[in-house]
Amino acid sequence: MNWSELPRHVAVVGAGLAGVSACEQLRELGYDGRLTLFGAEPHVPYDRPPLSKDLLLGKQTADEIVLRKAEWYAAKDIDLRLGTPVTAIRPDEGRVELVHGTVAVDAVLLATGGRPRPLPVPGGDHPAITVLRSLDDAVVLKDRLAPGVRLGVIGAGLIGAEVAASATVLGCQATLIDPAPLPLEHVVGAEIADLLHSQHRANGVRVLVGAVASVEDLGGAIRLHLADSNETVDCDVVVVGVGIVSDDSLAAAAGVAVNRGVLVDTAQRSSHPRIFAAGDAARPTGPDGPLPNVEHWESALHEGKAAAAAIIGAPEPVRPVSRFWSDRYGWHLEVVGEFRGEVVLRGELGGESFAAFALVDGKCVGAVAVNRPSEMKAARRLIERGLPVRAGHLADESVDLRSLVTGNRTPAGGPR
Ligand SMILES: Cc1cc2nc3c(=O)[nH]c(=O)nc-3n(C[C@H](O)[C@H](O)[C@H](O)COP(=O)(O)OP(=O)(O)OC[C@H]3O[C@@H](n4cnc5c(N)ncnc54)[C@H](O)[C@@H]3O)c2cc1C
């Protein structure tokens, strides 16, 4: 590494997981220049997954979900500027603009995350309609969820499903509405998607397949009208969870290439040599153009680290196999890699815990599990190392999957 060519001042815009991960990695890699982390929110950077789970359920407080304690930033000589949104980046002039003033910088990491997609229907901006992205959103929602409250959840993806599950635990009467009969089918296959979705009904949630066409103000409550049917849902509170829009606005205004996210290469480099992007704000590109956006916790963590390495010219870290998780009704769902090819089941589908592995050419390429974290760790290693595996071993509960990774058991060949 040529230390004389290192940026003297790195600005990280966005104090979420990707931004904090980048700052931490920059210091880990020995970068000792000036490092400023700008956060639009007033809070010490916090973790988002608990917002729809333990924070909503009152099992964790806001103080308990911080990514790092406030003192950590000072100890690492990171200038944490909370409540300080960056309003523009001027990469060719080497500065970023704030509401009051400008700051000279040599490299900028955009880790601005995403904004909840609004509900694009008449009445969709009704004040009783909420979203769940930030700690402030979660505090407002938590305050509104009480026993007997009629909650409408629009969108049965990861966040919608978790909100419905948490609200049910809190005694609300939840109705979950999505046009897709089997949300997550494209990720975990029809059978597991069906099982996951059926959990809502089994736990007393009313599940409707359809799109919300309009929102009517009932004065104190609201009525959701579904498209192509006479179905209506009266609600006291509505949460919209229909995805996010990657926040690429600073990059777009600066002429950096964007396409529903800041376009980056595998090292998180944008089209401008001084600008990098990571986390939900970034969109990876492959040889054939932009790839799907990845909006999960682990990718934000990794991309922050990868961006840190790229900023100071350190080697690109190995990209781990993708992983995300979701919690609902006591089920800890984990998904790693890609779920395609031959499916091998371990345990009883729908039982207390089970795992399903996806095999292509005798190698594991993906896995889905409920309440089987250690087996998912093993699956991840099998995928990362491209080890051949026998379907029979994966299905056999008496086989410790770790042994397939370490090679203490012959993992392939022989009868299935
Ligand atoms: C409720 C909820 C539950 C989730 N649960 C899971 C889960 O169970 N499993 C999982 O894998 N993933 C989960 N996720 C997704 C995961 O949390 C995100 O992918 C991750 O937080 C993305 O991190 P990020 O740093 O890219 O963006 P963010 O965490 O959104 O951080 C971006 C920050 O940048 C700030 N910012 C934006 N613009 C500016 C600006 N101009 N200047 C300064 N600051 C700015 C924003 O205010 C924000 O604080 C969940 C997300 C949510 C919202």
Answer with the residue of higher pLDDT: 26 or 414.
26
For residue 113, how far is its CA from the centre of ligand 1 (angstroms)?
A: 5
Query: Does 19 sit in the ligand 1 pocket, CB within 6 Å?
Result: yes
Sorting pLDDT into bands at 50, 70 and 90, what band is 232? very high
Residues 331 and 355 sit within 8 Å (Cβ to Cβ): no
Which among 48, 103, 244, 334 is the best mutation to test ligand 1's pocket, defined by most ligand atoms within 8 Å of the CB?
Answer: 48
Query: Does 185 sit in the ligand 1 pocket, CB within 6 Å?
Result: no
The answer to whether residue 209 scores a pLDDT higher than 50 is: yes
Q: Please state the φ and ψ torsions of residue 94, each to the nearest 5 degrees.
A: 65, 45
State the closest ligand 1 atom to the C-alpha of 84, by its place in the atom list counted from 1: 43
The answer to whether residue 412 scores a pLDDT higher than 60 is: no
- Nearest CA owner, ligand 1 atom 29: 16
The answer to whether residue 167 scores a pLDDT higher than 50 is: yes
Query: Does 36 sit in the ligand 1 pocket, CB within 6 Å?
Result: no
Strand pairing report for 95-98 and 86-90: antiparallel
Write down how long the chain is.
416
For residue 85, how far is its CA from the centre of ligand 1 (angstroms)?
A: 15
Q: Coil, strand, or helix at residue 312?
A: coil
Residues 306 and 317 sit within 8 Å (Cβ to Cβ): yes
At residue 54, what is the residue type? D
Least confident of 10-24, 25-39, 255-269, 396-410: 396-410
Q: Report the greatest alpha carbon distance in the chain.
A: 71
For residue 324, how far is its CA from the centre of ligand 1 (angstroms)?
A: 14
| CATH superfamily of the 3-115+244-311 domain | FAD/NAD(P)-binding domain (3.50.50.60)
pLDDT, tens digit (0-9, with 9 covering 90-100), for 307-336: 999 999 999 999 999 999 999 999 999 999
Query: Does 366 sit in the ligand 1 pocket, CB within 6 Å?
Result: no
Q: Are domains 3-115+244-311 and 118-240 of this chain identical in fold?
A: yes
If you classify domain 118-240 with CATH, what class do you get?
Answer: alpha beta
Residues 6+ apart with CB under 8 A from 101: none
- Six-digit token pair at 254? 């600066």
User: How many Cβ atoms sit within 10 Å of the Cβ of residue 364?
Assistant: 30
Sorting pLDDT into bands at 50, 70 and 90, what band is 229? confident
The domains of the chain are located at: 3-115+244-311, 118-240, 330-406
State the closest ligand 1 atom to the C-alpha of 299, by its place in the atom list counted from 1: 19
Residues 6+ apart with CB under 8 A from 389: 357, 359, 362, 363, 364, 382, 404, 411, 412
CATH code of domain 330-406: 3.30.390.30
pLDDT, tens digit (0-9, with 9 covering 90-100), for 60-81: 999 999 999 999 999 999 999 9
For residue 125, how far is its CA from the centre of ligand 1 (angstroms)?
A: 22
